[in-house]
Chains A and B, each alone.
Chain A
Amino acid sequence: MNLNAVITPVDKTKQVGHKDLFLTQGVKTTAGAKVLHNFIPPYSATVVIRLEHQDLDTAAKLNCDAWAHGSSGENSDFGPALNPWNPNYTPGGSSSGSAAAVAAGLVEFATGTDTGGSIRLPASFCGVTGLKPTYGAVSRYGIIAMASSLDCPGLLTRDVSTCRRLFPLIAGKDELDAISQDPPITYPSKTKLKIGLPKEYFISGIDPQVNQAVKQAAQALASQGHRLVDISLPHTQYSVAVYYLIQTAEVASNLARYDGIRYGRTREHFGAEAKRRIMLGTFALSAGYQDKYYEQAARVRTLIIQDFDRAFRQVDVILAPVSPTPPFKLGEKIADPLTMYLSDILTIPANLAGIPALAFPCGFTPGNLPIGLQLMGPRWSEEILFNLGETYQSLTNWHLQKPKL
C-alpha cells in the first residue's frame, strides 16, 4: 500500500524520516508546499546535524500539511498521507507522513514539529509515541518556521523508551536559536506521582470510546501506586480561539518572507489553507483590530498558562486524551476549516503554555483504529513523562501492535 508518507526518498538503509519542514543540505525540502516544490537548501537544521553526528542519517523526507498548517495531512500540496491502519482515514496532522511512516515501519523514527498538536495528534491517530518537548528544549534553527512563540520540534517513535533515548541527542542549547536552552532545572524523581485528570478534557463532547480508553489507562497507572486527582483547567474552552489568533498572526509574519526572489516560487503558489491563515493573521494584526483580536488573545493566553501553574501546584502530571475523537475519514472535515481547527482543542493548551507533552497509544476502537492519550508536565519535566510512559508501556502492549499493510 502506498501511504504517500514520503515526499522525497533519500536512502532506505538509513534510520531517520524527517518531516519535510527540516532543512537537509542538498536534499529537496518542500514544507509540503508548492511554493518550495524544488527548493534545495544549502544547509541543514541543527536537529538534522545533531542526529547525523550520531550516525542517524536521513532515510526520507516525509509528507506533512503545507507549512505544517493542518490536523489531518490533507493540506499537503502533494496529496494527503494515508493512515496505515485504514487508508480511508487521515493519519492526523500536520506531521502526517512522520506518524504514518513510523507506524508502517518505513523508518526507525521520525522528526516532527508541534505548534498546536502536530506531533501528538498524528501519533495518536497512527498508534505511535510522540513527544512535544518543552518550548525551547530543541533548536528550531533550519526548520521552516510556522508560529515562532509556539513551534516545538520533537520526535515520533514506536515506543517511549526509544523516544527517551533519542531526545537528549536533539535537545539542548544551540547558539543559532536564541530561545533554545539547556534544562535549567532537574525534576526530582518521585516513585509515586499525583496524576491530574482535568474535567474539561473529559466533557460530553469527547467520544465515549476515547474517554473510556484514556480513563482505563489512568486506572492502570493508579494500580501502580500513583494517585489520580480530579483537577480543573477552566480556560481550556478558549484555547482554540486564542491559538487561531496568535498562531495566524505569527504565520502571516513568518510567511511574509516567501516572495519568490531569493528561493522558492511566488506567493501565487500558496494553497488555500496557507492563504486563509495569512489572511486571518493579517486581519488580527491590522490597524483598528489589533487590540480587539491579537492583544486580547495574548491576555487570555496568560490565563491559560495560569491554569497550568495552579494545576501543577496540585499534581505532578496531567493525563488526558490527545484528540476528542478517534481518527476521522479523509474528506470528513476538509470543507469546514473551523471544525478542523477544533480537532486540536486538547493539544493546543500545552503549546500556549510551552509545557512538554508525551502522547502514546492506549487502545483501539472496535474498528481497529488507534486511540492515544497524552501526559503533560511542568516545563522541563520530560523525564517524569518518560518514566510514567515507560511504566504504562510495561503494563500494556498497545504500542507493540502493527498495522497490516
Chain B
Amino acid sequence: MAKLSAQQVEYVAKLAHLSLAPSEVALYQDQLSRILEYVGKLGQMNTKKVAPTYQLIDNLANITRADTAKPPLTPTQALSGTKTTHNGYIVTQPILNQ
C-alpha cells in the first residue's frame, strides 16, 4: 500500500487517544508504512475457505463457580493508585459539558 499520509497517522492517533509531536507523526508515517508493506504480504494468500482463529481455547463453555463472597479490596487499597479522590470516589475528567 502507499505510504500513510500525515492525516491518516493523526487520525489513528486520535482514535487511540495518543497525542503525537509533529516529528513523531513523520516518524510513524515512515515506520508504520514500512511495517504495513511487510504485513501486506498476507493479502496475497487465498484464505476464502479458511476460518479465522481469534482465540485458542475452544472447549470452555458455561464456566461456573461457587457463589461465595470473598474479602474484596478495602476502599483504601482500591483508591491507593489514584492521585485525586473525593469522599471515597475516584475523580475523573468530565465527559459532558453542563
Contacts and interface: CB of A to CB of B under 8 A. Distances in A.
Interface residues of B, number: 45
A187 interface: no
Given A280-B32, A298-B52, A300-B47, 15 more contacts: A149-B54, A175-B65, A178-B60, A179-B60, A252-B16, A261-B90, A263-B81, A272-B24, A295-B52, A296-B42, A299-B51, A299-B53, A300-B45, A303-B47, A338-B38
B53 A298 contact: yes
Contact of B55 (A149, A293, A299): A149
A328 interface: no
A367 to B, nearest CB: 30
19 contacts: A40-B80, A136-B56, A175-B65, A240-B38, A241-B38, A270-B18, A275-B18, A275-B24, A276-B32, A280-B32, A282-B12, A293-B39, A296-B43, A298-B53, A299-B45, A300-B50, A303-B45, A337-B31, A341-B35
A292 B55 CA distance: 19
Given A149-B55, A282-B15, A296 B47 contact: yes
Interface in B32-75: 32, 34-36, 38-39, 41-43, 45, 47, 50-57, 59-60, 63, 65, 73
A267 interface: yes
Contact of B9 (A136, A238, A279, A301): A279
A342 to B, nearest CB: 9
Question: B-side binding surface: helix, strand, loop or mixed?
Answer: loop
Interface of B: 8-9, 12-13, 15-20, 24, 28, 31-32, 34-36, 38-39, 41-43, 45, 47, 50-57, 59-60, 63, 65, 73, 77-78, 80-82, 90, 92-93
